[in-house]
Chain A
Amino acid sequence: MIRLLLIAAAIALLAVAPFHFYTVTLMTIMCFVVFACSFNLLLGYSGLLCFGHAMFFGGAAYVTGYILKSTPVSIELAILAGAAVSGLLGLLIGMLTIRRQGIQFAMITLAFSQFIYFILLQSPFTGGEDGMQAIPRNPMFGILDVTDNFTYYYVVMAITLVSVFVYYRVVHSPYGEILKAVRDNQPRVESLGFDPERIKLLAFVISATMAGVAGGMKATVYQFATLTDASWPISAEVILMTLLGGLGTLLGPIFGAGIIIWLNDYLAGFGEWALISQGVILLVVIVFFRRGFVGELSALATFLANRRKPAAKADAPKPASAH
């Protein structure tokens, strides 16, 4: 009940936010919330460190942009198509990499993302170094005009809410239970008769598809797609967001993305200081708050709850954290 009220309050806040804040910043945050959730699904819940997640984000941004520029297809279908292409790319790359573990997996995904970056740089349809400019926002469902940022904000909000729900559903599904088991102890899952590589491949494809939704949204919010979207600093930024928010916590990536984008925006006037402060924040989080923003908060809540009932022994049930 409390949880439902909190969700309703959060949605209400999102709905009134554009009256008080700059809509483009808010939309950027939401794009990266979806992107960071997709990344957390991999690193936080499958234990896979993909160091080239930007290839799915940037790749989908270009595909969505290209469809909108060259066809009259409605905007939501263009975003879905971008996501589908990212999902297929994820399937292909996943099949080639999923057997690798740890640092090997990270390095191979990085190599593939550099390869995708190079293809995007060389392909004629992307506009190369100039990027893809003036992506139109075709009417939604073919009728609803979304060229105005204020209107489009609510479309982005709806897509974000659906994506976050999908992310929540995957984590709390029968499959999610097996996925977490693979993260905890892969040989044991295999000995129980599952195929852990197929389990992880599915997570990789879902994650790539979600990253594609985020990339497609970004391309339509800014109405351009650039090589930066597919570059490794974006891959690094999403890792930073996930770690800062709290790895393997449901709400972590949402807070992480919000904090980083807000900081980038707030510190934009300070030039390089924005990057330096990001570095300092990451350092502080890694050294002092290893569980990240949400992870530390829920640990604190658990600690306080345990202190309130001192009778609790070591074997007493731990209250399930609310995130």
Chain B
Amino acid sequence: MTRDTRIQIDKSKQSHRKKIFLSNKLSVVGATIVFVFILIAILGPLLAPIPPDEINYHSILNSPSRAHYFGTDRYGRDLFSRVIYGARTSLSIGFIVVIFSTLLGLAIGTVSGYLGGNIDNFIMRFVDLLMAFPSVIVAMVLATIMGGGIKTLIIAMLVSSWTGTARIARGETLSLKQSGYVTATRGIGGKWSYILFYHILPNVLPPVLVSSTLSFGNVILNTAGLSFIGIGVQPPISEWGLIISEGRQYIVSGQWWLVFFPGLAIMLTVMGLNLLGDGLRDIFDPRQRR
């Protein structure tokens, strides 16, 4: 195949994928939501009208108004600013966890699947074992040992989220291992590291990326949940789950905004990531296309 035709095929493949993605309106909506929230997180300091931790005892528990779009909390802090800064916290924690768990899961999954045999068996049983523990419990154990905080939160979610990626990566590697071009490369004496990097990894990557996008949403939900019960992000950092937990006691006296807005932000972000993930899956995994 000449270079030109190859580029042409690549291009047509690309435009075909783009078409599939754009034809699914929901995934476009998802991508837009995610993009907007990433922008909010990056531009945070420019968008927030008032510093998120500025205490103002003249405006305690104000309902949403022109001056405070989302109202204020018990210290008179501006909720709009706090929710904007919350995007920075949640998305950066999410990014860190997803990147590391993807790398870890990818490395362990592909190597385990490629080597096979007893090592593979051992690793996969270990993965099963880890999966048997709900992430909340892992986080609880770690929080007891290390105390709450962002570090604990990140480690807890890493422990419970790389296993899913490892399983997918291993499954793909197992089927790729049998494919013609891999056996051919091995036949002409290709090193196993070469095969892993140049033949297996590029093909394992797409499904793994889809699952990473979907698990990103889960990480954000878990971050919020663990902070809500007090073993995640600690005050005075702005984090969505923590803001909800701080506003929780006011819901029975009618101050709904303290809970409503941060939760809405969580829901929209997670929804965006889920829709985006579904869209990506439709592209990369035609078997599951609706």
Mutual binders A and B: no
Residues of B within 8 A of A (CB): none
